[in-house]
A and B are shown apart, each in its own frame.
Chain A
Amino acid sequence: DTGVSQDPRHKITKRGQNVTFRCDPISEHNRLYWYRQTLGQGPEFLTYFQNEAQLEKSRLLSDRFSAERPKGSFSTLEIQRTEQGDSAMYLCASSLGSDSNQPQHFGDGTRLSIL
């Protein structure tokens, strides 16, 4: 169990640029989540994958955001035309199977700063 890995850890970019983050879940975990955390707040749910299928998206996920999990393993989260309000920590989590007793395991996040 190597844990959930996220890359990069930090991203600084200018407003209007596109950014892409990567998440590698724990290898046997078929459920993958993206959350966003702003300063002083708890994480907020963005989207959920079961294997390669994106099954749920939050209203927070505007059309500038897109997420993929092409082979049911790693996932990417892309933000197009970044805005100041996108500055946040983006957290990825994974969990195992259909048993809802299984907890979500979180990565260390990607901190995005928009100049």
Chain B
Amino acid sequence: AQSVTQLGSHVSVSEGALVLLRCNYSSSVPPYLFWYVQYPNQGLQLLLKYTTGATLVKGINGFEAEFKKSETSFHLTKPSAHMSDAAEYFCAVRGSGSARQLTFGSGTQLTVLP
């Protein structure tokens, strides 16, 4: 079975500061990992994904994440926060069954302070 834990349900950073959103996963098979962003009253938009290969993956809007197998982590970072980054962020792991459904963490609400 797969599971995802996101540490910190709320994170606040100042505009221009580093963004770090934490995600730890549990998976019985080599994991495929995803970060999605959700703006109010909207669906989820894919930021980036890790499947195989390079452990540092780059996504949209300047975000990147590093897969660390030894730490079972997939933390999301951005060097400099922008006001438009304020949203809820979800980490997800893909299931191992035929459906390949996603198991999501409970989300981290990012607030960017001026």
Contact = CB atoms under 8 A, between A and B. Distances in A.
Interface of A: 4, 6, 31, 33, 35, 40-45, 48, 55-56, 91, 93, 95, 100-101, 103-109, 111
16 contacts: A31-B100, A41-B106, A41-B107, A42-B92, A42-B105, A42-B107, A43-B102, A48-B99, A48-B101, A56-B97, A56-B98, A56-B99, A95-B100, A100-B100, A104-B46, A106-B36
Q: Which 4 A-B pairs have CB atoms at the shortest separation, nearest pair first?
A: A42-B104, A106-B43, A48-B99, A45-B101
Contacts of A101: 32, 49, 51
B34 interface: yes
Nearest to A57: B99
Nearest to B46: A103
Interface of B: 4, 9, 32, 34, 36, 41-46, 49, 51, 90, 92, 94-95, 97-107
A57 B113 CA distance: 42
Contacts of B34: 103
B36 A111 contact: no
Q: Is the interface of A mostly helix, strand, loop or mixed?
A: strand
